[in-house]
Amino acid sequence: MQLGNFIGGKFCPPHSGAYIDDLNPATEEVIVRIPDSDGQDVDDAVAAAKAAFPAWSRTPAAERSRLLLKLADLIEQNLEELAQLESRDNGKTISLARRLDIPRAVANFRFFGTAILHHGSEAHPMDGVALNYTLRQPLGVAGLISPWNLPLYLLSWKIAPAVASGNTCVAKPSELTPLTANRLAELSLEAGIPAGVINIVHGYGAKAGRALTVHDDVPVISFTGGTVTGAAVATNASPRFKKISLELGGKNPNVIFADADLDDAVATTIRSSFWNQGEICLCGSRIFVERARYDEFLERFIAATKKLKIGDPLDETSDVGALISADHLRKVTGYIELAKREGGSVVCGGNRVDRRGYFVEPAIITGLGVNCRVLQEEIFGPVVTVTPFDGEEEAIAFANSTRYGLAATVWTRDLQRAHRVAAAIDSGTVWINCWLLRDLRVPFGGMRESGVGREGGFESLEFFTETKNICVKL
């Protein structure tokens, strides 16, 4: 079976006639073939989006809202099918796809589909001399590049605000996980979203993705993916003075003080370490535990990790599924080997599972210093390190010892310390005694090499619009 690009409301083959195999990472079998699109296909998609822009940008917000809410309803009605597609395409467990990925895509469309109704402009009267007001206008064709780890969740995080605020878009989903993007295209037609408002071009990042980032008719790029790729996107888009948002990698610290509620800290840390096989940019991968409770935490954490069931992602009872690809499996297991060479001990898991598919046991590593590569580089798999610390100052220094700054978690029952430490950690998000709770109204993004720009809430609507100051003499 072959998928097409979704351009101007129609599914079209790529100009080159070339296709890419899309594999199921749990079985290594080809599920479908997707277009290996090039610049010509991107040109077509951008032209379709550009043609749809004048009418869509003039469509009343209430009507745009109605269509996006209809799309949200359709995603919800097809939740089970979408969860199955996501699980087969990505290797994630069906239970997580059902609980996290697809409901969050519904929430994204509902949130931005209603936020647009409440988003206004500001006026600044100049003491009877003049009146300034700020007009917000959509930018045109938005280029949206998304990764494979939360395919529909992150694609909808971009499409929903872009389109809600009156832009049209060309989305380039990851070549590793095209299935739910394709289904979203079909549902957008069913919802009645006009042809050309949402366009989807499949293919490799270096070809189709790059063509989008350098396209003269695409004034805004929203990218989520790895830091190295983010740098390439910035290099290509910046000389063209595009508006760019980059949501990149992380090496998130999880700081557990001795006074923490350890039952909760262990249970939550299991999720923050191994949900989605550790393939969530917000997963905590460096766990720091105050020395007085280090042994106790480690023992309980290892025991809980050993109870996780690794297996067929479509099995309701599986806790850990397959990694996304053979390349990624090599990367992840390479870091487990590196940990040993750096002097660490793999105290739990870390072996490839003896079955077809890209499965690796969740791994816990101890005995490494904060400057080792394993604690510095993003692994993006089910691999965490556990390190003891002494006192608040050292905890903060350890947390801040990487080039990243995406998310952090702090566990303590001391209210003042919780706030002090949260403020001192260089991170776009800090969770206190919890993980992954997200109110869609809050700004989201990373510091340092975890990214540039903030999305979420009205900030996303602002990102996808340009302000114009209009000054009227009174």
Among residue numbers 257 through 276, which ones bind ligand TXE (CB under 6 A)?
none
The DSSP symbol for 142 reads E
Of positions 232, 258, 353, 447, contacts ligand TXE by CB under 6 A: 232
Secondary structure (3-state) at 269: helix
Q: Is 177 in the site for ligand TXE (CB under 6 A)?
A: no
Q: Is 452 in the site for ligand TXE (CB under 6 A)?
A: no
Least Cα distance to 344 among 368, 378, 361, 375 occurs for 368
Q: Is 178 in the site for ligand TXE (CB under 6 A)?
A: no
Least Cα distance to 183 among 212, 155, 161, 157 occurs for 155
Q: Is 39 in the site for ligand TXE (CB under 6 A)?
A: no
Which residue number, 210 or 300, has a Cβ lying nearer to ligand TXE? 210
Which residue number, 172 or 215, has a Cβ lying nearer to ligand TXE? 172
Q: Is 281 in the site for ligand TXE (CB under 6 A)?
A: yes
Which residue number, 33 or 417, has a Cβ lying nearer to ligand TXE? 33
Q: Which two tokens stand for residue 451?
A: 């990214």
Edge-first strand listing for the sheet containing 383-389: 345-348, 363-366, 383-389, 284-290, 252-256, 407-411, 429-432
Whether 455 contacts 444, CB under 8 Å:
yes
Q: Is 175 in the site for ligand TXE (CB under 6 A)?
A: yes
Owner of token pair 């001399």: 129
Q: Which residues contact 48 (CB under 8 A, 6 or more apart)?
A: 7, 8, 9, 195, 196, 199
Which residue number, 256 or 408, has a Cβ lying nearer to ligand TXE? 408
Q: Is 145 in the site for ligand TXE (CB under 6 A)?
A: yes
Site string for ligand TXE, 363-382 (x = CB under 6 A): ---------------x-x--
Q: Is 205 in the site for ligand TXE (CB under 6 A)?
A: yes
Q: How far apart are CA 18 and CA 453, in angstroms?
A: 35
Q: How far is the CB of 66 from ligand TXE (least distance, A)?
A: 30
Which residue number, 140 or 278, has a Cβ lying nearer to ligand TXE? 278
Q: How far apart are CA 202 and CA 211, in angstroms?
A: 12
* DSSP track, 284-313: EEEEEEEHHHHHHHHHHHHHHHHTPPB--T
Of positions 96, 201, 248, 320, contacts ligand TXE by CB under 6 A: 248
Burial string for 45-67 (b: 16+ CB within 10 Å, else e) reads bbbbbbebbeebbebebeebbeb
Catalytic residues, which ones? 247, 281
∠ Cα 284 437 377 (to 5°): 20
Site string for ligand TXE, 149-168 (x = CB under 6 A): x-------------------
Q: Is 209 in the site for ligand TXE (CB under 6 A)?
A: yes
Of positions 24, 229, 269, 402, contacts ligand TXE by CB under 6 A: 229
Secondary structure element (H or E) that encloses residue 64, with its range: helix 61-77
- Count other Cβ atoms within 10 Å, centred on residue 210: 20
Q: Is 290 in the site for ligand TXE (CB under 6 A)?
A: no
Q: Is 226 in the site for ligand TXE (CB under 6 A)?
A: yes
Interface region with ligand TXE, contact rule CB under 6 A, candidates 62-70, 74-82, 223-231, 360-368: 223-231
Q: Which two tokens stand for residue 450?
A: 């975890």
Residue of minimal Cβ distance to ligand TXE: 205
Size of the chain in residues: 474
Which residue number, 361 or 378, has a Cβ lying nearer to ligand TXE? 378
User: Residue numbers of the site for ligand TXE (CB under 6 A)?
Assistant: 145-149, 172, 174-175, 204-206, 209-210, 213, 224-226, 229, 232-233, 247-249, 281, 378, 380
